[in-house]
Amino acid sequence: MEYQQLSNGVQIPVLGYGVYQIPQEDTARCVTDALACGYRLIDTAQSYFNEEQVGDGIKASGVPRDEIFLTTKVWIEHYGHGPTRRSVEESLRKLRTNYLDLVLLHQDFSDVYGAWQDLEDLLAEGTVRAIGVSNFMPDRLVDLCSFANVRPMVNQIETHPLYQRDEDRVWMAKYGIAHEAWAPFGEVRGGLFTNPVLEEIGPQHGKSPAQVILRWDIQRGTIALPKSVRRERMEQNADVFDFELSEQDMARIADLDTKTSSFFSFRDPAMVEWFAHMVEERKAGSVAANEKKAW
C-alpha cells in the first residue's frame, strides 16, 4: 500500500475500501475480506447504518487497530456544538475503538460551524487524528478554510473520469486539502467499465477499466474509495501498484470529463430541501421509536 501525507502530517492510504450501501448482514464479512486483500483504509459513515458491523469486521480480521486507517462521517442531524461530539462518541462505541483516524462532516448544510468546533476539539484532544469534510463545493470549502481555526485536511467528493472536479482540485490544492473520491467508478451510471477509451488503455497494461480508473486517481494524487462485495473484485481493485499510465493515457482520460455529476447537484435548492426533509423524517421516526419503548 502507498500513502499520502495530510496537512497535519498524518499518513493516509491512497486506496481505501468504502462500505456505502453494503447491507448490514454483509458488512462485517466484506470488511474482513478487504483487510485480508491488503486494504488499510476503511470508510464508513453514521448515515450508512453499518458502523457496528464495520467494527465487527475489523475485530474479526485480526489486523491490529494501529495498522488500519478508520474513517467515519457525521450526519447533518447531528450537527452543532455538542451534538456532533456526542455522535462521534457513539460512533466510537459502535466501531469498538477509542480513536478515529479521520472524521468528516458529511454535507455542507445545517450548523456546519458548530459541528466543526466539536471536531476541532476532538482533534486537539487526540480522539481524532484528522478532520475534514465531504461534498463541500469550492465556495463552502473556502468559507470554512477562511474562518475556522483548523482547516479541513480532506474533502471527499464524487470523482470519476466523467466528473473529474478540476476546479475543486485547484481550490483544494491552494488550501492544502487532500482530495478523496467517492463513487470512483460513477456507480457504473456512465458505463465506465465499457468505455472505449478505458477498454483500449487497459489491455496495454494488462489491466481492466476499473484498474485503469483507480490508477488514474492515484497518479492524480487522489485517494480512491472503491466498493465491492465480491472478494475477487476487491483483490483486482487493490492490484494497481505495479503499472503506470503514460502521459498520453492520462490525457485521453482527461478528455472524458463531462463536468457533470452522475447523481445530483448539491447546489440544487430542491436537493437541499430533500436532505432537510429526510432529517425531519428520521427525527420523527426516532421519537416514535422512543415513545414505543416508553410504553
Please give the positions annotated as active site. Answer: 48
From the centroid of its chain, how far is CA 124?
Answer: 22
Using only the alpha carbons of the chain, give its radius of gyration: 19
Helix (H) or strand (E) holding 17: strand 17-18
Q: How far is CA 245 from CA 137, 213, 219, 241, in A?
A: 29, 10, 8, 11
Strand partners, 181: 157, 224
Contact 47, 79 (CB under 8 A): no
3-state secondary structure of 105: strand
Q: Which residue has the cell 492510504?
A: 13
Q: How far is CA 255 from CA 67, 185, 212, in A?
A: 38, 16, 15
**Number of neighbouring beta carbons within 10 Å of residue 55:** 23
